[in-house]
C-alpha cells in the first residue's frame, strides 16, 4: 500500500485530503507543522509528502530542505495558497518535485501523486 504524508496547519484540509486518499487505498499520515512533518517522515516513511509552504514555526521551505537532506528519495509536492514567483523558484531549487495551488484540484493532485509513485516504482 502506498503511503502519503499530508502537512498543513489547517486541520480541515488535512482531513479531507486524508479521506480522499484513503478512499484510493493510500495509507495516510497527517502533520500540522514542520517539526511534526519531519518526525512523520522518519517514522512513517511516506513515498509522497504534500507540504504546505506557509506554516507557523518551521515553514514549508525549511521543512522541504530538511526532508530532502534526510530522505532524498521522498517525493515532495508543495502546496501554496499564494504562489509568489520567488518562493516557487526557491522550492524548486531545494528539490521540490512539483507545486500545486489552493484551492486544489483533486483530480490533478491524484494524477500527480500517482505519477510520483510510478517514478519511484521504476527506480526500484
List 83, 95, 115, 117, residue binding other proteins (CB under 8 A): 83
Indicate whether 88 belongs to the interface with other proteins (CB under 8 A): no
Shortest Å distance, C-beta 35 to other proteins: 20
Region 46-65 residues binding other proteins, contact defined as CB under 8 A: 54
Nearest Cα neighbor of 56 from 42, 35, 30, 25 is: 35
- Tell me which stretch binds other proteins (CB under 8 A): 34-42, 43-51, 62-70, 83-91: 83-91
Sheet holding 3-7, edge to edge: 27-31, 3-7, 48-52, 75-80, 98-101
Is residue 37 exposed (0-12), middle (13-18) or buried (19+ Cβ within 10 Å)? buried
Q: Which is nearer to other proteins, 42 or 101 (CB)?
A: 101
* DSSP one-letter code for 55: -
Identify each DSSP E strand in 25-97 by its residue range: 27-31, 48-52, 75-80
Q: Which is nearer to other proteins, 87 or 116 (CB)?
A: 87
> What does the binding site for other proteins look like in residue numbers (CB under 8 A)?
10, 12-13, 16-17, 19-20, 23-24, 54, 81-86, 101-107, 110
Amino acid at each position: 500500500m502506498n503511503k502519503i504524508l499530508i502537512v498543513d496547519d489547517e486541520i480541515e484540509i488535512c482531513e479531507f485530503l486524508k479521506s480522499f486518499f484513503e478512499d484510493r487505498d493510500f495509507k495516510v499520515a497527517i502533520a500540522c507543522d514542520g517539526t511534526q512533518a519531519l518526525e512523520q517522515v522518519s517514522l512513517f516513511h511516506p513515498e509522497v509528502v504534500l507540504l504546505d509552504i506557509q506554516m507557523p514555526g518551521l515553514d514549508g521551505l525549511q521543512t522541504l530542505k530538511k526532508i530532502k537532506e534526510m530522505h532524498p528519495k521522498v517525493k515532495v509536492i508543495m502546496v501554496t495558497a499564494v504562489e509568489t514567483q520567488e518562493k516557487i523558484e526557491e522550492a524548486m531549487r531545494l528539490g521540490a518535485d512539483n507545486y500545486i495551488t489552493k484551492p486544489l484540484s483533486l483530480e490533478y493532485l491524484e494524477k500527480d501523486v500517482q505519477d510520483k509513485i510510478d517514478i519511484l516504482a521504476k527506480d526500484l
